[in-house]
């Protein structure tokens, strides 16, 4: 385990090992969007668990992108005391923390509708088999407002003492909607060809960089291919990663873009039971690692210390990120470090995800079961 437990630097940020807690929404914020006591307790456990870098769950940068009442906000200075306390808690237990900056785009539609607002997206796609949201096309002035909102949120993360920010440009959400030819049908300079579809992410990066300064780590979780054919393909996704690295992002976590219909076509796949099933985005991470000169973070079904060690030793990635296993075992990395090298107990059944969709706080919903069929 000498590679996985060796230190690494992201931009100016020194990390004690190569393990990242991949961003995990917990549905535990106060209804006001503030950091809650339950979150302080959760992050204390994660920091005690020897994770090198903890990425928070999705933090909303603008009211139009909020997806749930129990989601953290970072869209106003009123949220600063909570973020400050969270950062201090993590630091007090030897950890580092990055805030994941988020806008849900059309995926925010249920919450927006409840608030009598209409969700926004790059374009309205008619008869979309992968999305039955109610939403409208975002106007250019609103796009520019969001660019500023991301910059303001990043400045707040820095002011609160958090160590980094990560732009959530993966999965089903606004950045992925802009990048995907299946979701972005615009004919102005925010859509159409690849350069135009990438523009929103690039403009947000530039504004964020300006607001946090040259030394603050700005990461991206990038969806490099959609989960269905006809969407973003990996050739373009790889090019997007290269452009992100050149632009100045300090690290790239490699994930999927828009979701298909089944779990097998999403970023959280089921049924990871043997070594061969681990690291289902391994190939993408490996190819991007070979093409960029900033640290790459591999995510998706990493469950054993041997796998983590192998992909780092072989230089397929610089870091590995883990989400679901840490729901059940927040001390997993400490356990591996202590020499107990059994794989994570998580069986990737996704009941933790199903539970938060129903509005529950994050928890492992199958503690005692041993096998659950994949949906
Ligand atoms: C309950 C739950 C919440 C998640 N929340 C987020 C999130 O807030 N931001 C994000 O980028 N990914 C989120 N993800 C995806 C994970 O970060 C990760 O990319 C995915 O689960 C694959 O990693 P794993 O196999 O280690 O779980 C979430 C996943 C789950 C199961």
Whether 372 is in a domain gets the answer no
Q: Return the percent helix, strand and coil in the chain, to nearest 5.
A: 40, 15, 45
Out of 19, 20, 21, 22, mutate this one to test ligand 1's pocket (max ligand atoms within 8 Å of CB): namely 22
- The three-state secondary structure class of 296 is strand
Structural domain boundaries enclosing 333: 8-357
Whether 362 is in a domain gets the answer no
Whether 365 is in a domain gets the answer no
Task: Look at residue 170 in the predicted model and tell me its pLDDT.
Answer: 98
What CATH number does the domain containing 297 carry? 3.20.20.70
Whether 147 is in a domain gets the answer yes
Whether 371 is in a domain gets the answer no
Span 112-155, pLDDT tens digits? 999 999 999 999 999 999 999 999 999 999 999 999 999 999 99
What is the spatial distance between Cα 119 and Cα 109, in angstroms, rounded to a whole number? 5
Whether 32 is in a domain gets the answer yes
Span 313-371, pLDDT tens digits? 999 999 999 999 999 999 999 999 999 999 999 999 999 999 998 889 999 987 644 44
Rounded to the nearest integer, the mean pLDDT of the chain is: 95
Span 200-238, pLDDT tens digits? 999 999 999 999 999 999 999 999 999 999 999 999 999
Angle at 157 between CA 152 and CA 159, to 5 degrees: 90
Looking at the DSSP assignment, which residues form a beta bridge with residue 297?
253, 319
Question: Between 181 and 367, whose confidence is greater?
Answer: 181
For the residues 255-261, what does the mean pLDDT come to?
96
Domains held by the chain: number: 1
Whether 367 is in a domain gets the answer no
How crowded is residue 283: how many other Cβ atoms within 10 Å of its Cβ?
Answer: 12
* Ligand 1 proximity of 23 Cβ (cutoff 6 Å): yes
Q: What percent of the chain has pLDDT over 70?
A: 98
Query: Which residue's C-alpha comes closest to atom 16 of ligand 1?
Result: 323
What is the spatial distance between Cα 294 and Cα 318, in angstroms, rounded to a whole number? 9
pTM of the predicted model as reported, rounded to 2 decimal places: 0.97
Q: Counting atoms of ligand 1 from 1, which one is nearest the CA of 350? A: 31
Span 294-311, pLDDT tens digits? 999 999 999 999 999 999
Task: Look at residue 367 in the predicted model and tell me its pLDDT.
Answer: 61
């Amino acid at each position: 385990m000498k590679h996985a437990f060796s230190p690494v630097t992201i931009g100016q940020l020194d990390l004690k090992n190569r393990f990242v807690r991949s961003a995990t929404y917990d549905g535990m914020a106060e209804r006001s969007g503030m950091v809650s006591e339950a979150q302080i307790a959760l992050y204390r456990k994660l920091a005690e668990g020897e994770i090198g870098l903890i990425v928070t769950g999705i933090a909303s940068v603008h009211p139009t992108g909020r997806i749930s009442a129990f989601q953290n906000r970072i869209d106003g200075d009123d949220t600063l005391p909570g973020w400050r306390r969270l950062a201090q808690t993590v630091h007090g237990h030897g950890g580092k923390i990055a805030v994941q900056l988020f806008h849900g785009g059309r995926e925010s539609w249920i919450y927006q509708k409840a608030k009598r607002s209409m969700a926004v997206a790059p374009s309205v796609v008619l008869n979309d088999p992968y999305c039955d949201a109610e939403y409208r096309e975002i106007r250019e002035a609103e796009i520019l407002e969001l660019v500023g909102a991301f910059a303001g949120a990043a400045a707040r993360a820095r002011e609160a003492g958090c160590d980094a920010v990560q732009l959530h440009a993966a999965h089903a959400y606004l950045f992925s909607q802009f990048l995907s030819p299946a979701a972005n049908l615009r004919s102005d300079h925010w859509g159409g060809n690849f350069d135009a579809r990438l523009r929103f992410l690039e403009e947000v990066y530039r504004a964020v960089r300006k607001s946090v300064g040259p030394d603050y780590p700005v990461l991206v979780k990038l969806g490099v291919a959609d989960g269905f054919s006809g969407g973003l393909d990996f050739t373009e996704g790889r090019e997007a990663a290269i452009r992100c690295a050149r632009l100045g992002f300090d690290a790239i976590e490699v994930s999927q873009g828009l979701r298909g219909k089944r779990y097998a076509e999403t970023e959280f796949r089921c049924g990871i039971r043997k070594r061969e099933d681990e690291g289902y985005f391994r190939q993408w991470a490996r190819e991007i690692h070979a093409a960029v000169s900033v640290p790459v973070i591999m995510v998706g079904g990493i469950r054993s210390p041997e796998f983590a060690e192998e992909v780092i030793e072989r230089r397929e990635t610089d870091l590995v990120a883990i989400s679901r296993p840490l729901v059940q075992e927040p001390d997993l990395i400490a356990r591996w470090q202590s020499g107990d090298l059994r794989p994570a107990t998580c069986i990737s059944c996704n009941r933790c995800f199903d539970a938060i969709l129903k509005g529950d706080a994050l928890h492992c919903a199958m503690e005692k079961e041993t096998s659950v069929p994949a949906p």
